[in-house]
Amino acid sequence: MYKVTFNGKEITVNTESSLFSPKEADRGTLAMLRHVEFKDEDKVLDLGCGCGIVSLAAAASGVAPENIVLTDVDALAVETSRKNMTQNGFAGAVFVTGDALSAVPGSDFSLILSNPPYHTDFKVARTFIEKGFNRLSIGGKMFMVTKRKDWYKNKLISIFGGVKIYEEDGYFVFEAQKRSMSYAGKKK
């Protein structure tokens, strides 16, 4: 268990030793969250939710829990996220166990946030970016954080047509906005 503060609210986070960043909030995720401006009316997808840090930040910032969808391939991560949202007073979110976006309902997200597994090949990240694009509303944004720059930059540009990159605390935070219904260029 650890505590983090979002929007002036102290949040208690319970986790499990087998989940990502079990002892403290991940520095990369926190770096990404510093670049996201949550609006009350946002519809948020926490893609690869882990223990739910992104969704806790969104809810603490005013996003209605029923407008937050958390998904992870790991059932323990999804259950841990559910407990964390509930114990912090954010009941009502949608929780989905499944591979990438395969089981996620809806296609009109204004924000998709992810800290994808980047110590492996790019298969998961490619799926997150390509399928995530299709789930965003026009004007919606995808935020990702990694320690790798070039592949993500090139992939996001090929799909979204552009990307903003912030470098912070040894991480790269990517922000890409959906401006049309079709990919900007050829899939790579």
The first and second tokens of residue 158, run together, are: 């090929």
Measure the CA–CA gap between 138 and 64, rounded to whole angstroms: 21
What would the pLDDT profile of 129-150 be if each residue is shown by its tens digit? 999 999 999 999 999 999 999 9
- Class level of CATH domain 27-177: alpha beta
Closest C-alpha among 80, 39, 78 to residue 58: 39
Q: Is residue 187's pLDDT more than 50? A: no
C-alpha distances in angstroms, 34 versus 116, 157, 171, 173, 187? 17, 22, 12, 10, 30
Measure the CA–CA gap between 110 and 143, rounded to whole angstroms: 11
Q: Is residue 35's pLDDT more than 50? A: yes
Q: Is residue 188's pLDDT more than 60? A: no
Q: What is the pTM of this model?
A: 0.94
Percent of the chain with pLDDT over 70: 97
What's the pLDDT at 50? 93
The first and second tokens of residue 62, run together, are: 């005013």
What's the pLDDT at 129? 96
From the centroid of its chain, how far is CA 49? 7
